[in-house]
Amino acid sequence: MKNYIATLFIACAMMASFAQSKKKDKKAPSKTEVSTMSLKGNAKIADLYAYQVYGEPFKIENTLTNEELGKAFDGMKSGDVIENVQFVSTIESVCKKKGCWMKVDLGKADEQSFVRFKDYGFFMPLDGEKAEVIVHGKAFVSEISVDKLRHYAEDAGDSAEEIAKITQPKLQFNFEADGVYLKEN
């Protein structure tokens, strides 16, 4: 009888544990929208042999123009992500300390995409401004704090006066690149 009661007790405890773990597995829907949609790009790349690879090499297909990427960003809100995107653009500026980020043209006046490199795994040449690039990775939008904006402005070599003017957080078009093709000049 004791064995029967002990077995029944253990079975009940296991069922209660299983029911609780099932409840924990249910998560509230995420506010972040992750899209794996395939964006069809119209960019034309004339001579891939003129490019040097930084990071992971990738197959050139469905490459967006910078304007097409800009339009994709227009439909996004803070926290949204589009994965497996590639686009062609021009480097507007590069981190002057290490080359650990770059800003690229989106074909929209003063708006640019801020590109960082996956896992800090590679860097761009410090003199890469105005070079054409083909970038692969994920696009996302996030709000950047005043402290972070000031840090980036300092890395870019902005003056103390320009840095002091940064007083509000900013919604930023971001890109995390796992690979970049840089056109040799």
Q: How many residues does the chain have?
A: 185
Give the torsion sign (CA, 59, 60, 65, 68).
negative
For 84-116, the pLDDT digits (tens) are 999 999 999 999 999 999 999 998 877 889 999
Asked whether 72 and 63 are in contact (CB, 8 A), the reply is: no
- Domain extent listing, the chain: 27-183
**Residue type at position 107:** G
DSSP 131: -
Per mean pLDDT, which range of 54-58, 73-77, 84-88, 175-179 is the poorest? 73-77
Instruction: Say what the pLDDT of residue 115 is.
Output: 96
User: What does CATH list as the number for 27-183?
Assistant: 2.40.50
Q: How far is CA 49 from CA 53, 63, 155, 179, in A?
A: 10, 16, 32, 16
For 130-150, the pLDDT digits (tens) are 999 999 999 999 988 999 999
DSSP state letters, 30-47: PSS-EE---PPP----S-
- What's the mean per-residue pLDDT of the chain? 81
Per mean pLDDT, which range of 11-20, 42-51, 56-65, 167-176 is the poorest? 11-20
Asked whether 101 and 133 are in contact (CB, 8 A), the reply is: no
Three-state DSSP state, 88: strand
